[in-house]
Structures are given as C-alpha cells and as structure tokens.
Structure 1
Amino acid sequence: MIMSSQFLPLSHRMTSPTWIFDLDDTLHNASLGIFAQISRMMNLYMEHHLQMTEAEARHLRTLYWHRYGATLQGLVRHHGVDAHHFLQETHQLDQLYDWLEWEPKLTATLQHLPGRKFVLSNGPQHYIEGLLDRMRIRPLIAACYGMERMRFHPKPDRRGFRAMLQAERLDPSLCIMVEDSLPNLHAAKSLGMRTVWISKQCRKPAFVDMRISRLNQLLHRAW
C-alpha cells in the first residue's frame, strides 16, 4: 500500500505525479457489454475476411490473446491482416456507446487528482478518443495512446509503455499506473512506476502498491 506523503521519497513529495490510466475496465466498465460487442465484431471480421467458422475464429482469438496479448498481433503476423482496417471494423463506436458505463463521480475524481493524466490502452486511437469524449473527460486527459501510437506493441509489452514515456518525456519514477490487468501492472512496475490495481479481490501481489475497487478511492490517499 502507498504510504502517506511523509513516507514517500523526496522526489515524489516535491513533484505532482503523472497518472497513466488504462481505459477498459478502469475508466469505464467494459465488462458490462462493450467487451462482448467488440468480441462479436472481431469474430465476424475473421469469419468474413479469413473465411473461418465461428468456432475457428473463437479458437484463434483465444490462442493469439494468450500468445501475443492481443488478437491483432496474431492476425497481422499469420494472416496478413491490415491492422488499421481491423481496428476500424471491430471498434465501431455507434455500436458501442449504448453499453458505455462509468463511475458517476469520475469527472470530479480526475479533476481533483494532482498532476497530469494520460490514457494508455490496447484499444485503437479512435475508440479511446471516442469513449473519452462520450464520457466528457477528454479535456482532462493530456494525451491518449492507443495501439497505433504504441507502435502496435500492446501492453504488457514494455515497448508500448516506452513509446509513450519517450514521446511525452515522462520520468517513470514519477508515474502512477492505474490498471485492472496484473500483467500490465507488473510491466509498469518493472519500468519504475508506482502501481494501482483496480479490483475487488482481497489479495494484492507484491508489485502492486495499492489496490482499490473504485477510482474515487484515489482521492483518499496522499500522492
């Protein structure tokens, strides 16, 4: 657990932290419906463009997810799929907005947290920006990085993290990664960031500095 400010290193006390937020199941609850809709669109894309059955598409998506961290990586590598076309076709915002839900106090939480805020997500750029606009929090985010700006190196690949850190000239030791994914937090920790796991589980791995169940709990800590 992150201690009060008197126990933090001097550099952390003198400088406001930089917040790096995941998007899905962090800033909004993708598991309520958006993930299912994206999954359906991915299956349909593979069935249509790769001439697969629904069962074959589901099997390959699971295989590529475990092997590469994202379906897209396997499709590009093994099937010659155009990454930009795939991301556009499988993240159609007009089919996703109806499923978008987020914490009622999200805007206030982000406004009151000290320091700049970024979004780092394995989703495509138009999807991230579209959802942030819909949630009316885009003006509170300094920049957002999706698959394209991560140079198609999805988390937990450290190259994706480094693409953002280098582009924004961020010091990892002053960054706090807020995520629902433990592998992604492990990668962030290995780069020198502090880590916040958004989860309702009771356990807390050693590489997680804080576990919360709701984002507004961030306001109850000294940063």
Structure 2
Amino acid sequence: MKYALIGDLHSCFEDTDAVLKHIQETAEDATIIGLGDLFECKIGKKRAKDMTGLAFEEAAEHSELFNNLLHFPSVRGNQEERIMQVTGLHTFEKLPETLQIEGANIIHGHQFNWPSDWKPLLTEIEQSIVFFGHSHDAALYKKGQKKSFTYGKPIQLKKKKYGVNVGAVIGTREWCLYDSTERTVTFMKATQREKHSS
C-alpha cells in the first residue's frame, strides 16, 4: 500500500494546495496522512503558559479555503495542543497522538527528546520505521545517523530501524511517499511557483 505523508502545514493554504496537487499528479493511489501541526497557533509557547479562554479565531491561523483542504486523517501536533491549551476548547482531541500503518508508526515528533543539534533521539521507538516531522528538516535516520537522499528517488529500506522526517509542507513543500509493500521511502517536493517581476 502507498502512503503520502505530509506534516507541518501551519495553516498555509498555498503550500498545502501545491503539495496535495503534487500528490494527485504523482501518487494518485496513495492514502494521505497528516503528521500534525496542520494549524498555526498565533500564541507563542512562553505566552501560552499563562493564557486560557481565547476564542479559536484569536488562537489559530485558519481560513475556510485552508480548512477545505483537510480531508485526510492526521496525528496531533504541538500547535494543535497549544491551540487547545489557550482556548480551553477540545477541537483537536479526536486527533490521535500516534497512528499505526503497515510496517510503520506515525507521530508528530514533539514528543521526542530533541538535543541542541536537532537530531531526534529515537531510541524508544519500537516499530522498525517511524515517520515524524516537527523540526521541518527532511531526513532519513539509520542507527542514529543521517543518510543522504535525492528527491524523487526511492530508497529501499532493509530490515533495520529507521526514522524518517518527512519535512515540512510550509515553506519547502516537502512530503514523503511510503510504499509498505515494496518497503521504499521517497522524499518528494512540489515545485515552487515562479515569481514574475512586473
């Protein structure tokens, strides 16, 4: 089965729309799954500690256009958790913290221990493959080491443990194609729209 994994959308309609169109063009039969931080919380982590009771509109960047793109299951990210914290609403409680797919585990990644070099410590992961986001840094980890990759080129995974950061939709328009039958991972990137000078 094929999965198109997307994370860190942060309420960006243009980049999310571009990625979803790219998935449709290149992997039409793939099941799309979100890795959290679908929305952008307007309140920073420090300010959020002392806030509650805000209206959803005050706490989250959102639009009807963006909301209409969200027709896929997703895990919950730290942005969704912060929005719930500062509003007191239960808007994203139905989003699970983790999801299991064939041969892999999906989690946002803010739950990991992230050292100062932003290389996640994945020692507590039991599944052989874990897909995550959070740091906006597309990367393949094997035995704790970052491995090189080429966008659009499938990587054959051995019977080892892997951590796969699918990258960010916002800004870089990255996503990841996982084929559980072939046991391959392909880092993908929707092309940026060219800016024409007037």
TM-score (norm 1): 0.36
Compare CA radii of gyration and give the structure with the larger one.
Answer: 1
- Report the structure, 1 or 2, having the larger strand content: 2
- Report the structure, 1 or 2, having the larger helix content: 1
TM-score (norm 2): 0.39
